[in-house]
Amino acid sequence: MPKIELSEERVAELKQKIEKSKEIFKMAYDRFEVKDQRMVWSAGKDSTLMLWICKQFCEENNLPMPICFTIDEFDVFEEIDAMLKIYAEKWDLRLDWGINIDVVEASGWELNADVTVSDLTKENQAEIDRIGFGELERFPFEAESFIGNHLMKSVVVNKYIQDHDVKAFYQGLRWDEQPTRSEDPYFEDVAADEYTPEQTRYRPILHFTERDLWDATHYFDIPYCSLYEQGYRSLGAKTTSLKLDDKKAWDQDLENTIERAGRRQDKEAAMERLRQLGYM
């Protein structure tokens, strides 16, 4: 029994959106072997919807599931951690974990502790230099600060793609998630540069709005993390994600408020620009 009542037209619309996503998976499977594919799965609402649709697609076509990849930013909600483990087992997934352990060790395994740059590996030092902080001696260890986000996420993903020779990479992004995403394509061949190996990025659920996502999640009984019931709209690192409302995520005014307002990295990016302009 579905958890919400929807009109026939609405259900047909959601089914059509799911079919559209399956077409993207088909394109990827037609072009790449499954061993060369990876799916980023954070147990957040977007990547879980993507994973669920992929599972439907694979069952219908008798295909194996791609390996999933999750990033351990060190600052993780217990609820997220539990969901990853429970569904990896339930759905029989192979789930790889990536972490930039060098940075965690340099922090003494403590959030907000100072990391001394010279304690890091040459690779991590080069990454800090690359994003414009070459003169920095130390920085506080935070998963979603400008430096933290780069070291704990971007670097981890790039290294994983390199190490496993990943050719196709699925991302659970949505056009309406933030307007800066509104022109992202369903798939994109990314040429290799000094830092990023050559790869094709697939984004199968771009066309789902936040409302579509929650309607589909409830109607098709797709699992979701309990934090959304507490009012979180968008989940990042534990200590820097905020709930701006105590209402369940899907009961909030999705159309007129900002989904990512509780996320840290958007603030950090704007603050970094202001710093470069001399205002901070």
Partner 1 sequence: MARKQKNVILLTIDTLRKDVIGCYGMGESYTPFLDSIQDKCVRFNNCQSVGPYTQASFPGILTSSYYFEFGREKQISSKRTVISEVVKNGGFTTAGFHSNPFLSAFFGWNRGWNTFYDSMMDQVTDHAPYILGDVINSKVDSWVNNHTSGEEYTPFFLWAHYMDVHEPYVPKQEYIARIDPELKITDDEMFQLFKDVVLPRDTSDASKNELLKKLYLAHVLEVDDYAKQFFDNLEKSGVLKDTIVIITSDHGDEFGDHGSLSHDGRMYDELINVPLMVYDADCKETQVSDTVVSGVDIPPTIAKTFGLDSPESYCGQPLLPIEDYSSKGSFGEAMGKLQHKIKPTDRPAYFYQEENFRISYRVEDEKWEMFDLQADPAEQENIIESSSSAEGMKAKLTEQMHVVAFD
* 182 near partner 1, rule: CB under 8 A: yes
* 280 near partner 1, rule: CB under 8 A: yes
* 245 near partner 1, rule: CB under 8 A: no
Widest distance between CA atoms in the chain: 61
Nearer to partner 1 by C-beta: 108 or 185? Answer: 185
* 247 near partner 1, rule: CB under 8 A: no
Least separation, in Å, of the C-beta of 252 and partner 1?
A: 14
**136: left (phi > 0), else alpha (psi -120 to 50), else beta?**
beta
Calpha distance 193→135 (Å, rounded): 24
Calpha distance 255→259 (Å, rounded): 9
**CB-facing half-sphere around the CA of 33: CA atoms within 13 A:** 4
* 132 near partner 1, rule: CB under 8 A: yes
The values of phi and psi at residue 37, to 5°, are -100, 150
Least separation, in Å, of the C-beta of 40 and partner 1?
A: 17
* 192 near partner 1, rule: CB under 8 A: no
* 194 near partner 1, rule: CB under 8 A: no
Q: What is the DSSP letter of 131?
A: T
* 279 near partner 1, rule: CB under 8 A: yes
The 10 Å Cβ neighbour count of residue 86 is 12
* 116 near partner 1, rule: CB under 8 A: no
Least separation, in Å, of the C-beta of 211 and partner 1?
A: 16
The 10 Å Cβ neighbour count of residue 90 is 9
Can you give the binding site for partner 1, defined by CB under 8 A? 131-132, 178-180, 182-183, 258, 260-261, 266-267, 269-271, 273-274, 276-280
